[in-house]
Structure 1
Amino acid sequence: MPDLLIELFSEEIPARMQSRAADDLRTRVTDGLVEAGLTYAGAAAFSTPRRLTLTVQGLLAASPTTTEERKGPRTDAPEKAIEGFLRGAGVSRDALEVRDEKKGQVYFAKITKQGRPADVIVAEVLEGVIRNFPWPKSMRWGSGSLRWVRPLHSILCILTDDAGEASIVEMDVDGIKAGNSTEGHRFMAPGAFTISSFDQYQSTLKARHVILDAAERAEAIWQDATNQAFAAGLEVVEDRGLLAEVAGLVEWPVVLMGEIGAEYLDLPPEVLQTSMREHQKFFSVKNPKTGRIERFITVANRETADHGATILAGNQKVLSARLADAKFFWENDLRVAETGGQKWLDALGDVTFHNKLGSQAERINRIAALAREVAPAVGVDPDLAEQAARWAKADLSSEMVYEFPELQGLMGRYYAKRAGMPAEVAAAAEEHYSPLGPSDDVPTAPVSVAVALADKLDLLTGFWAIDEKPTGSKDPFALRRAALGVIRLVVENGVPIPLSEAGRTVLMVWLDWTPSYPNNLLNSEINQLQNKLKETDAQEALFKDRLSFFHDRLKVYLKDQGIRHDVIDACVAMPGNDDLALLVKRAQALSDFLKTEDGENLLQGFKRANNILTQAEEKDGVEYSYGADIKFAEMDEERALFAALDAQGPIITEALASEDFAAAMSAMAALRAPIDAFFEAVQVNTDNSVVRRNRLNLLSRIRKTCLDAADLARIEG
């Protein structure tokens, strides 16, 4: 069984495309081989800046000959139908077999597909893969029609048999003929060499200064970088994304550590790290005692006679120019911050947030007003919450954030401190954007929570008001992320804030806004929308739709925590379902309860009581909802159930009123045994109408007691 080796050798492939391209090569080639009848034992793909490589082990030497039987039309079918069947099957009429079936005589064809040698199939599959490769971006060069990410220079494609003999797979793609040779490192080992197997290919490449495996290159970079930093008493700031990118920029990594000019060491470490990462692809090296970034790591693609001195000198010169810009931005921004930052806040009036929702300054006014309303729920002074909200986005006007947008919020924290603002205001500037995703940390500082909630609630209410809601997979304004952020902020901080109240507050603020656009037509459209939303019905429709959206996101959030969708539905159906913290407490308690034996059996008892009661009410045309009296009880099991309901009912009611759902479920568990005993011993639909009615009213007490905790009718099973 031969092994297949493919290498597609080109100019430098962008690092961000290499891993996906290697996976696509493996998937498309192996799928094509299997579809053509060639199975294999294993496959692996690799990438370097100049090559994509695929090795396939244990490939069949040829595809097997197969015979397929295909049923055709009846013998008396129209001639065109028979001719179409013959063309599809690829056989002549003489080769057809006639068989008797229930509906008459039917044509059958036996289609034999002859096996083909592996090299023929490989050539066919590989050419198709190359011509239709899914690069995010591709190019043509010269006069050919082939498109590739960068000019493709050569194709290595060989089959190596069990004896170690290699043969070239003959193929030609736009004048590029497959062969058995490749090249090593562009500078350190130029020139072609021939290949006979994958092992020889990989070892020879390494001897010629090319590490084929990207993971091996990344590990080599990290080990050498951390060793050099450790020797200097420093440590490398971990950045796995940058490590993967740099490993895709070099075939033979040479790690070099350089100095940062002393005049730049007092810049915030995040500024240094961002500038070096984004512009130079440098790793930051910090002093673990002070946290200050003091050096950098760069990775060259070759060894040099001067051990990288010239490379480092050039990198340090370029870096110095970059950091000089950063220092200039930093110093300019500090001068603005030290005067209170009003210049930045004024400038946000000229920045459009959305053409139907006003400028950033107008949005900040709404957020500040909402933060004041949210503040009491999180135990914050409203004035402090408003101050934090008004400062939170000031740094969007700063020169540093204009140059490095990813530093928004972080720079706001630095500038707030320099402006002498309270620490809570500075923290809120950075933290109010969070959480940005399901794994992001949730702010816990009360002021940060208030501003973060105000920011996200304004975003959601505003876009809901102008009917810019997520549709299908499209969510251009990240409203799903904002809704999940509200859920996590409320739930993980236990904020008792009903969404309807918060929504009405921000909507009222939005309705009071007078747009200042020079475009009179746009002003008119906004005024019409505002007038419409002043109507109670329109407001209620907006809040209902938005609350439904929150509940959908909540199901996703709780599902990740192991809470079933039907449990969530049972809690959403209860009053107060716009209080997310309350809703989640109820769902968690119910979920835990239903996982116990008592909970599972009580659920069955409730469903049995509910079913009997529902059927009786439909039959009798009355509602059995009151009037159960112990004096009509005939059996001990009835009296025991009365006693249990009398004892546990007040406990459940009090627990629910104090939002202690765990205690309510615990009290409900005490009903499990008497309910079980009741159904085992008592016939509800007895011939005595008085006793029957009393027992149905007793079932109604069971139903009401259970439904006070959650709508158990929505629970499956």
Structure 2
Amino acid sequence: MFELLLEIFSEEIPARMQVRAGQDLVKAMDAGLKAAGLSPKDSHALTGPRRLTYVTQVELRSPDVSEERKGPRVGSPERALEGFMRGAGITDISQAETRSDKKGEYYVAVLQSEGRDTSDILTALIPEVMTGFSWPKSMKSGDSDFRWVRPLRGLTVLLDGQSLDGITVGGITSDAMVHGHRQMGPGPFPVTTLADYRAALETDGHVMIYRSARRARVLEQAKAACAEAGLELVEDEGLLDEVTGLVEWPVALLGDMDPTFLELPDEVIRLTLKSHQKTFTVRDADGNLAPNFVIMANLETPDNGATIKAGNAKVISARLSDARFFQQQDRQKNLIDYYDQLDEVVFHKKLGSVRDKADRVAALAREIAPHVGADPDLAEQAAKLAKCDLVTQTVIEATSLQGQVGRWMYEAEGGNPDIAVAIEDHYKPQGPSDAVPTNPVAIAVALADKIDTLVGFWAIGEKPTGSKDPFALRRAALGVVRLILSRNLASNLNFFAMLSFYHLNAQFPDDDRMASFVHKLGGVGDLWKIVGHAKADNSFDAFSALGDGFSKTIVDTLLSFLLDRLRVYLRDQGQRHDVIDAVIAQGGDDLLAISQRVEALGAFLSNADGENLVQGYKRAANILRAERKKGKLDLASFDTLSGFTADPAAALAKALANTRPSIDAALNSGDYPAALSSLADLREPIDAFFEDVVVNSDDPDERARRLALLSAVVETFHQIADFSRLDG
């Protein structure tokens, strides 16, 4: 195997695109080399601000290939022979061999294909890969139609220590010359190997080509610059990754800013420095933000970075002055005073304004609050305030501060601490790793906000399809799942979904945009009168009972969507897919109960006793399934617990009678391990039954009783989960 290096040199590649581009380049080049008969090995990419480099080990020539193509029988019609010869690329049938099998003789064309030099393969492959390369954004430069993320400036291809010159892409022709740092590099210089390439760039070239080493240098230098001044770096993984993609030769500089800016909230300062100047914030010995910042320069300067620091300090001062002005303007009013302005912000053209949404969320949060241990009045008030900061100047300028700005403003007014927390945390969790709220008021508002979003978009038919999810509904559904499971909240999602739609419909009772949804409910009677009574009576049971009339309606499809998110979540937690399916198939909309059943069943099946019991279940279920296929199974008239003469059957019937009450009690109390433990008591009676009892007795009555007993056994298993869905 021989070394292959391809460097694509250009103007600055956006930092966020570099890693993915490196992965895509490796994938495309490897695929092309393999398609040509080569076997690239140890392929990897080197990425940086101005270069995308592919490195691999590969043969110098693709192997010769011999292919046999089977043809028609000897003596076949002329047309069949002509088609075979044309497809095989031969001009006379005598060029084919004859082979024999049981049916007689047939023709075989043996096609020999010579291998190709890897240099020839690369001459064709590299332009093909680069021309078809996909960037999030690309551009043309010069007179060429070739598109790249930024103007192309150089192309170097090295194979086994030799430069493959003359490969042309986008008006640039490959040669052995490599460019170093824009300011500190010595100009183009020749290289022949990866070791040569690295040594030349990382010394005189002043370019660190390995991203991991560059990232480590950035962090090390930033920490050292702070430590020298008795300060501590505020680490930020996202910013660290971005800065790594901005510099080829990291040089950390500690700058100063006006201490009066420290009056601003810490997050405003951090966000301003990060988003506008790509600089790190700094803490003092007490853990408070210091009036300093760390800028990562991309070069060494004669004045030790003084000009760079001064320039950044000037821009930072201007940005923080703007932020301070916006804060001062925003705080001239109380947070609730922005509520009416939410009417001017469209949430969705079919779902009204953000104020409409806030009203719905407030009403729903009030009703959810008792189920999560929150004060209904506080939950309703928090929901009304939660979106108010969206129309403040601070959030308009920095949308990532939504929620936080509202909390700061409300706390400055001396507001209730629970409401303040809920204003910030109601957006959470926003992803699989985001923190989950712990405050009951925040939980109530967060659940209400996400359920309202899901129900609203389901109502207007805007569901996720395939990879498209423009309204982040999968994230909202995962948020509901994580809120419920992480806080051990027993939930009736059908109930909450119907409550949510009740409030949605109340806002638009005569609006055509709701008509299609109402039509899809399938004539559940005077639904809104029933819902109204249930609400007025505060009757959870009456309201929940409505779910029975919602078969194949939008509420059911939304529940199915949430259960799919639960499946994904539980799989990520390490649960078996078949166990998850078995429990979900049993039914229910209490995500916590489903999760607890999955955990208990997974633990139960992790030992031999559990698996053996499942085999007994499957034997019983298979017998019943076979009888149903014959159309002869009618169990309705048989007493499953009496009339047995065979001792194992009587013992199983007795064990079943003794076990069912304890299983029922355990399920009613949510003690799923106890329910499974009681179920395990049936193992020996089931094994003995199948060992000594012939189910298909010659006596029709006895046979029917035994089948009915097996049916009762299967039904008992199904109280916990649909065991038929388990693997094995």
TM-score scaled by length of structure 1 = 0.90
1-side partners of 2:464 and 2:695: how far apart? 51
1-side partners of 2:711 and 2:130: how far apart? 71
Q: Would you say 1:544 and 2:559 are equivalent positions?
A: no
Q: Would you say 1:526 and 2:530 are equivalent positions?
A: no
Conserved? CA contact 1:626–1:700, under 8 Å: no
- Of 292, 295, 298, 1:295 maps to 292
Q: Would you say 1:62 and 2:61 are equivalent positions?
A: yes
Q: Give the residue type in structure 2 aligned to 1:109.
A: A
Per-residue CA shift, 1:534-591, capped at 9, x if unaligned?
842798222222222222222222222333344334333446x022222222232223
> What is residue 97 of structure 1 aligned with on the other side?
96
> What is residue 207 of structure 2 aligned with on the other side?
210
1-side partners of 2:301 and 2:24: how far apart? 35
User: CA shift at 1:37, angstroms?
Assistant: 3.4
2-side partners of 1:671 and 1:651: how far apart? 12
Per-residue CA shift, 1:82-103, capped at 9, x if unaligned?
6665565444437722526577
User: CA shift at 1:466, angstroms?
Assistant: 1.3
Q: How does 1:60-459 map to 2 (within 5 A)?
A: 60-72=59-71, 89-93=88-92, 96-99=95-98, 107-161=107-161, 166-173=162-169, 175-208=171-204, 209-287=206-284, 289-336=286-333, 340-459=334-453
1-side partners of 2:139 and 2:39: how far apart? 33
Conserved? CA contact 1:21–1:135, under 8 Å: yes
Q: Quick one: structure 1 residues 73 and 142, their matched pair in 2 at CA, closer, same or farther if it must change by over 3 Å? A: farther
User: CA shift at 1:619, angstroms?
Assistant: 6.1
Conserved? CA contact 2:99–2:107, under 8 Å: no
> What is residue 578 of structure 1 aligned with on the other side?
589
Conserved? CA contact 2:163–2:175, under 8 Å: no
Q: How does 1:555-570 map to 2 (within 5 A)?
A: 555-570=567-582
> What is residue 651 of structure 1 aligned with on the other side?
662
2-side partners of 1:2 and 1:578: how far apart? 60
Q: How does 1:502-513 map to 2 (within 5 A)?
A: 502-513=496-507
User: CA shift at 1:73, angstroms?
Assistant: 5.3
User: CA shift at 1:226, angstroms?
Assistant: 0.9
Q: Quick one: structure 1 residues 62 and 471, their matched pair in 2 at CA, closer, same or farther if it must change by over 3 Å? A: closer
Q: Give the residue type in structure 1 aligned to 2:297.
A: A
Q: Quick one: structure 1 residues 608 and 168, their matched pair in 2 at CA, closer, same or farther if it must change by over 3 Å? A: closer
Q: Quick one: structure 1 residues 603 and 56, their matched pair in 2 at CA, closer, same or farther if it must change by over 3 Å? A: closer
User: CA shift at 1:282, angstroms?
Assistant: 0.7
2-side partners of 1:259 and 1:652: how far apart? 69
Q: Quick one: structure 1 residues 85 and 238, their matched pair in 2 at CA, closer, same or farther if it must change by over 3 Å? A: farther
Q: Quick one: structure 1 residues 76 and 246, their matched pair in 2 at CA, closer, same or farther if it must change by over 3 Å? A: farther
User: CA shift at 1:106, angstroms?
Assistant: 5.1
User: CA shift at 1:343, angstroms?
Assistant: 2.8
Query: Which segment drifts farther, 601-610 or 367-376?
Result: 601-610
Q: Would you say 1:712 and 2:723 are equivalent positions?
A: yes
User: CA shift at 1:227, angstroms?
Assistant: 1.5
Query: Which segment drifts farther, 271-280 or 675-684?
Result: 675-684
Q: Quick one: structure 1 residues 288 and 489, their matched pair in 2 at CA, closer, same or farther if it must change by over 3 Å? A: farther
User: CA shift at 1:660, angstroms?
Assistant: 1.7
SS in 2 for 1:512: helix
User: CA shift at 1:642, angstroms?
Assistant: 4.1
- Tell me, which stretches of 5 or more residues in structure 1 are unaligned? 516-522
Conserved? CA contact 2:490–2:590, under 8 Å: yes
Q: Give the residue type in structure 1 aligned to 2:599.
A: Q
User: CA shift at 1:526, angstroms?
Assistant: 2.7
User: Identical aligned pairs, as a percentage?
Assistant: 45
Q: Give the residue type in structure 1 aligned to 2:119.
A: D
Query: Which segment drifts farther, 371-380 or 167-176?
Result: 167-176
Q: Give the residue type in structure 1 aligned to 2:120.
A: V
2-side partners of 1:275 and 1:228: how far apart? 21
User: CA shift at 1:423, angstroms?
Assistant: 0.9
SS in 2 for 1:54: strand
> What is residue 680 of structure 2 aligned with on the other side?
669
User: CA shift at 1:236, angstroms?
Assistant: 1.7
> What is residue 533 of structure 2 aligned with on the other side?
none
2-side partners of 1:41 and 1:490: how far apart? 47
Per-residue CA shift, 1:473-530, capped at 9, x if unaligned?
2221111221221122122222223112112211111111148xxxxxxx85236447
RMSD between superposed Cα atoms in Å: 2.8
Conserved? CA contact 1:96–1:108, under 8 Å: no
> What is residue 29 of structure 2 aligned with on the other side?
29
Q: Would you say 1:484 and 2:484 are equivalent positions?
A: no
2-side partners of 1:709 and 1:315: how far apart? 64
Q: Quick one: structure 1 residues 85 and 139, their matched pair in 2 at CA, closer, same or farther if it must change by over 3 Å? A: farther
Query: Which segment drifts farther, 319-328 or 40-49?
Result: 40-49
Q: Quick one: structure 1 residues 461 and 637, their matched pair in 2 at CA, closer, same or farther if it must change by over 3 Å? A: same
Conserved? CA contact 1:349–1:360, under 8 Å: yes
2-side partners of 1:703 and 1:104: how far apart? 58
> What is residue 501 of structure 1 aligned with on the other side?
495
Q: Would you say 1:623 and 2:635 are equivalent positions?
A: yes
Q: Give the residue type in structure 1 aligned to 2:590.
A: D
2-side partners of 1:204 and 1:24: how far apart? 26
> What is residue 15 of structure 2 aligned with on the other side?
15
Conserved? CA contact 1:95–1:109, under 8 Å: no
SS in 1 for 2:147: coil
Conserved? CA contact 1:155–1:177, under 8 Å: yes
2-side partners of 1:527 and 1:158: how far apart? 65
Conserved? CA contact 2:85–2:93, under 8 Å: no
Q: Give the residue type in structure 2 aligned to 1:709.
A: I
SS in 2 for 1:135: coil
Count of matched residue positions in the alignment of Structure 1 and Structure 2: 700
Q: Give the residue type in structure 2 aligned to 1:417.
A: E
- Tell me, which stretches of 5 or more residues in structure 2 are unaligned? 528-548
> What is residue 518 of structure 1 aligned with on the other side?
none
Q: Give the residue type in structure 1 aligned to 2:513.
A: I
Conserved? CA contact 2:97–2:110, under 8 Å: no
SS in 2 for 1:227: helix
SS in 2 for 1:179: coil
Q: Give the residue type in structure 2 aligned to 1:201.
A: Y
Q: Give the residue type in structure 2 aligned to 1:409.
A: G
